[in-house]
Amino acid sequence: MATITLNAVKKTYGKTEVIHGVDLDVADGELIVIVGPSGCGKSTLLRMVAGLETITAGEISIAGRKVNDLEPHERDIAMVFQNYALYPHMSVRKNLAYGLKIAKIPTDEINRRVAKAAKMLQLDDYLDRKPRQLSGGQRQRVAMGRAIVREPAAFLFDEPLSNLDAKLRVQMRMEIKALQRELGVTSLYVTHDQVEAMTMADRVVVMNAGIAEQIGPPLEVYRNPASLFVAGFIGSPPMNFINPALLSDIAPAEAETLGIRPEHCALTTAEAGRLSGTVAFCEALGADTLVHVRMADGSLLIVRSDGDPIETGEAVGVSLETPEILGFDSDGRAIRS
C-alpha cells in the first residue's frame, strides 16, 4: 500500500523538453490511467516513476519516500509490459517464481505466493506449461502474476493489452480492474485507448505533448473537458466542434469554437433544425447509428441516432441541447461560466 507523488516532474533530451512539469498525487489504492496519443509522453512519465528513465527536474515519491536516485529494484514497484517479457524456456510456475528466487525469498514463501497468484488468475492448470503453449490472454495473466507475487507497493502497467484482440481486451481490462480492487494496490496504467481509460480509471490523466492537460474522474473529464484537445480525444465518437458564427445568438463573446457531444444532437427536418445540412455518410453500429452531417461551412457534425441509416445526400436538420454546448477560447481552453 502506498501513495505516489509527482512534483513538477520534467524530462529533457538535450535541449528538448518532453515532459513539462507534471504534478500528480495518487492516493493509496487508487488506479490512475495515463492516456494520450502516441508521442505525448505517457510512457516516459511511467518509466520515470519506475526508475527506467532519469528525471531532469522535480521529485517523485513512493510511499512518502523520495525515489529520484533509487534504482528500479529499490522502489518497491512491479511493472507489467505489453510484450509480456516472459522467459520462453521456463514453465509458468518458474516464470512466476523467478523474481522471488533472485530476491532470495524462502522456498515455502515462494510456493505460497505462486499458488495464491495462480488461483487468483485461474492459472492452476497451466503451471507446468511453457509460454508458447499459452494464448495471448493467458500469457498476459502470467505477466500480471509475476507482478502480483512481488507484493509491491505499486503496480505500473505500460499498455498491457495492446497485443490482444478486441474481445480479449474487453475481458482483460475487466479482470485487471477487478484484481486491482481486490488487491488494493496503488496503480499507474498507461494506454492510448480512451475506452480503457474511461472504463478502468478512478481518475484519468490526459497527456498532450508532455503536458497533463486534465486530471479528474473519467465522467467529469468527459462532461467538462478543460480544452479542445481533451474534448476531441476523450469520447468515441469525439465531441463535435462548431463555428460560433453558426450559433451567434448563444455563443459566448470570447468563444472561437463551440463543442457538443453527438448524443446531445438529434435529427429533425431541414426546416425545423437549429442547424441544417446534408447527410455525408452513416455508420450503422447496431444499437445506434452515427450520422455524419455536412454543414454549410463544409464541416462535419456527428449525430448519435437510434434510427436506421439515412440516404447519403438527404437534407436534414439538427436540433441541439443548448445547455450542453461548451465554448472554447482562442487558446483552446474551455470557457467556464
pTM across the whole model: 0.91
Report the C-alpha gap between 63 and 163 in whole angstroms: 32
pLDDT in tens, 114-156: 999 999 888 999 999 999 999 888 898 899 899 999 989 999 9
**Residue 285 φ/ψ, nearest 5 degrees:** -105, 5
Q: Does one domain contain both 192 and 297?
A: no
Confidence of residue 1 (pLDDT cuts 50, 70, 90): low
Burial class from Cβ neighbours inside 10 Å (0-12, 13-18, 19+) for residue 336 reads exposed
Residues 204 and 300 in one domain: no
Q: Which has the minimum average pLDDT: 17-31, 67-81, 160-174?
A: 160-174
Asked if omega into 237 is within 30° of 0 (cis), the reply is: yes
Residue 334 lies in a domain: no
Domains identified in the chain, total number: 2
Phi and psi, residue 77, nearest 5° = -125, 160
Q: Residue 299 belongs to a domain with what CATH number? A: 2.40.50.140
In a domain, 333, yes or no: no
Q: Which domain holds residue 306?
A: 240-328
What is the per-residue pLDDT across 155-212, written as a single tens digit (0 to 9) for each? 999 998 888 888 888 888 888 899 899 899 999 999 999 899 999 999 999 999 999 9
| Domain final residue, candidates 217, 233, 249 | 233
pLDDT, position 279: 94
Reported as a single tens digit per residue, the pLDDT across 40-49 is 999 999 999 9
Percentage of the chain modeled with pLDDT above 90 = 73
Residue 216 shares a structural domain with residue 123: yes
Contact, 63 vs 2, CB < 8 A?
yes
Residue 335, in any domain of the structure: no
Is the same domain home to 226 and 259?
no
Query: pLDDT value at position 149?
Result: 92
In contact, 214 and 206? CB cutoff 8 Å: yes
**Phi/psi zone of residue 39: left (φ > 0), alpha (ψ -120 to 50 degrees), beta?**
left
Measured CA to CA, the distance from residue 336 to residue 334 in angstroms comes to: 6
Instruction: Count the neighbouring beta carbons within 10 Å of the beta carbon of residue 49.
Output: 25
191 and 289 part of one domain: no
Asked whether residue 245 falls in the same domain as residue 168, the answer is no
For residue 337, being part of any structural domain is answered with no
Residues 33, 204 contacting (CB under 8 angstroms)? yes
In this prediction, residue 55 carries a pLDDT of: 95
For residue 254, with 0-12 CB atoms within 10 Å meaning exposed, 13-18 middle and 19 or more buried, which class applies? exposed
* Distance from the first to the final alpha carbon of the chain: 40
State which of 233, 261, 283 marks the end of a domain.
233
Q: Indicate the residue among 175, 206, 233 that finishes a domain.
A: 233
285 pLDDT band (50/70/90 cuts)?
confident
- The verdict on 106 and 226 lying in the same domain is yes
Percent of the chain surpassing pLDDT 70: 99
CATH code of the domain containing 162:
3.40.50.300
Return phi, psi of residue 246, to 5°. -75, -20
